[in-house]
Amino acid sequence: MPWCYFQSRSDFISGCAGVCPPVSVIQECLGLAVLDLWRTAKEKNQSVKEVCRTISYKSCLPETHRQEIQHMTRLARYQIRRNLKRFLKKLGRCSVGEQSLKLKYLMELSAVEPNYSSETFITSSFTMRVSGDGGIQTRSSDDQDWQTFCDFPQIAEINMKRVCPEQLPAEGRVVTLTRQDDRRLEVEFETMAMALSFVSLVDNYFRLTTDSSHYFCSEVAPPSLLQDIDSHCHGPITSEFAVHKLKRTGAKNGTFLLRRSPKEFDKFFLMNEKFQLAGIHSSFDSLRQLTDFYKRNTLLLSDSPVTLGSCCPPQAKELSNLIIIRNSSVREMPSSPTQHRHRANHIQFHMIKHEDLIWKESLGQGSFTHIYRGCKVDQRDGETHTTDVLLKVLDVEHKSSWESFFEAASFMSQISHKHLLLVYGVSVHKSKNIMVQEFVKFGALDLYLKRLSVSLSWKLDVAKQLACTLNFLCDKWSFGTTLWEIFNGGEIPLRQLDPEQLSLQRIGGDVQGSMMAVYLLNILRENWRLPAPVMCPPKVYSMMMQCWAFSGEDRPSFIHLQDLIESSIQDEREGAKEWEAAPEKQKSCRAIPQSDAERNSLTFVL
């Protein structure tokens, strides 16, 4: 607080850092001068009258306001001094602390100067403003209104890369912000320092408003945060929140929570439901070593022996006293025009006439549908237009699932994403229920993986697109399962189960669904998970296991998953560089990766 106050006061008086309120608000600025003099009196343990003898109120105002007062008549200046003295005399009798005066000063300054709580970045093509209330805003010229690109909770990814010297200087960087609906904003900075400054600012706002244990860019991540993430340590949360979280997770004997001290950040608290430990006299190189040691050895707490069990780690986007809850209208702004539409509690979709569909060859069978290739015929502006489509016909054996079939069609027809199939609508003809979808050139992803051998980098790129898509749908378990299929050549996950239980698939109707659900639930409770695919990087399988956590609260956020995938992509690129430098004999055992053009042109049915 003291640093923030004196820095803001200095910026206000000197007119630096964009803090320069107009002369029209001179009365409000005089109010700030009063608070400044009052704070000085408290600090020096003097009366306000004594302080005013040595310090002029003008010294607490910007230069432009001092000049404006100097150009006033003598009578006007006398009235200002008289009003200030009378006001300060009344305030002198009030009992208020120095800390409260500093806080009031900052609040009044933010009301007087809108730019006080914002940072502006000027680029070659537009101006960008970052503020706690307005999020990230842009405008192309000074005479235009600010356009909001996104609020901090809507950010999905931040990337920083170097560009060719012809576009920017050698130290120049391009920062790309990606929203959750996959819209992007590219910002060119002339120096790496400016780029890191911008990324650091956005990164910190994200931790303040969305996820206190997350970072987008490792170059600007605080070292203490990296240490806490590795140690599963919370930030300086209150003891009340820590105890409540332990109880909410159904803590068993030995379950513990590690957090930083709210007052002394170099100290830590280790808590379980019954005991709290403020310090340990033994020496350890890291918090992880400490907790691992006491998982194997007994720890005496209040003369009671305790062995640490499982750790209760911080969760993604966890609401605690470290997250700032705002009333900003920007936060309620949808990141996509379609984002709120799919929240409707009733089914709605476009009905397509059966005679407007042209049926072609069969493409195979899904879990509940037969799939055909076809065309959809439309009449627009007096002309006939034909569109290639996929026709999914609900199986007769699963006709009792018609409601779920229509709900899926309704949901998918109301959202839009470049990695999601577009659903044109539904057609009903006699006993046939037909979903009309966008035609995809390369067909189903599992069949494509069975036909061709693809490189690790290709799989990681598809995984990144999948994470961006399912972030839109918030389905982490399905992401982990599809990731397993991608790295296992399109194999069906359930083939890993007991063959006797798989025979349940031959049972029709609701009996099959009920028995399979009970069986799956039991083996998941027993911590059974799909085994790691052959040649799957450990980082990727770790992601799958995190997505398959039994409790939904323990699964990672898609923002965190995208960061993990990006890290795996970087590892693969480093491996590719080493491969390029290797002798020719060593290269023959490596698969040839697909080109970027081919990789980016693929569209699949997931």
Q: Are 355 and 502 found together in one domain?
A: no
Asked if the structure places residue 296 within a domain, the reply is yes
Instruction: Please give the pLDDT value at position 136.
Output: 92
Domain check: are 467 and 576 in the same one?
yes
Please indicate, yes or no, whether residues 480 and 596 belong to a single structural domain of this protein. yes
Q: Of 62, 92, 112, at which residue does a domain stop?
A: 112
Domain hosting residue 156, numbered range: 117-224
* Amino acid in position 337: P
Residues 6+ apart with CB under 8 A from 275: 301, 302, 304, 306
Q: How far is CA 320 from CA 207, 213, 403, 413, in A?
A: 12, 11, 39, 36
Instruction: Output the domain CATH number for residue 467.
Output: 1.10.510.10
3-state SS, 490-536, equals CCCHHHHCCHHHHHHHHCCHHHHHHHHHHHHHHHHHCCCCCCCCCCC
Within a domain: 519: yes
Residues 545, 516 share a domain: yes
- In this structure, the answer to whether residues 434 and 465 fall within a common structural domain is no
Q: Looking at the structure, tell me whether residues 286 and 431 fall in a common domain.
A: no
Same domain, 449 and 524: yes
CATH number, domain of 130, equals: 2.30.29.30
Helix (H, G, I), strand (E, B) or coil at 191: coil
Chain position carrying tokens 């000197």: 14
Where residue 295 sits, what CATH number does that domain have?
3.30.505.10
Mean pLDDT by 10 residues, the chain (606 residues): 76 70 76 83 80 82 83 85 79 75 81 75 86 87 84 86 65 84 84 90 90 84 84 85 79 75 77 54 71 76 70 75 65 40 55 88 80 88 87 80 78 74 85 86 77 83 80 75 86 61 45 59 75 86 86 75 81 69 50 44 45
Last residue of a domain, one of 224, 250, 279: 224
- Shared domain check, 81 and 15: yes
Alpha-carbon span 574 to 568, nearest angstrom: 10
Within-domain flag for 66: yes
How high is the pLDDT of residue 149? 92
The answer on 510 and 362 residing in a single domain is no
Residue-level pLDDT at 198: 92
Does 393 lie in the same domain as 283?
A: no
Residue 46 and residue 61 in one domain: yes
Containing 258, the helix (H) or strand (E) segment is: strand 257-260
Look at residue 335 and tell me if it is in a domain.
no
pTM across the whole model: 0.57
SS3 of 223, please?
helix
Number of folded domains in the chain? 5
β-strand partners of 173: 162, 189
Contact assessment for residue 510 and residue 400, using Cβ atoms and an 8 Å cutoff = yes
115: closest CA among 130, 105, 102? 130
Say if 123 falls within a structural domain: yes
Is residue 322 one of the residues assigned to a domain? no
The domain that holds 349 is classified in CATH as: 3.30.200.20
Q: Are residues 202 and 175 in the same domain?
A: yes
Q: Which of 145, 127, 126, 149 is nearest to 137 (CA)?
A: 149
Look at residue 311 and tell me if it is in a domain. Answer: no
pLDDT at res. 529: 83
At 23, list the tokens: 């002369």
In a domain, 528, yes or no: yes
Radius of gyration of the chain (CA): 31
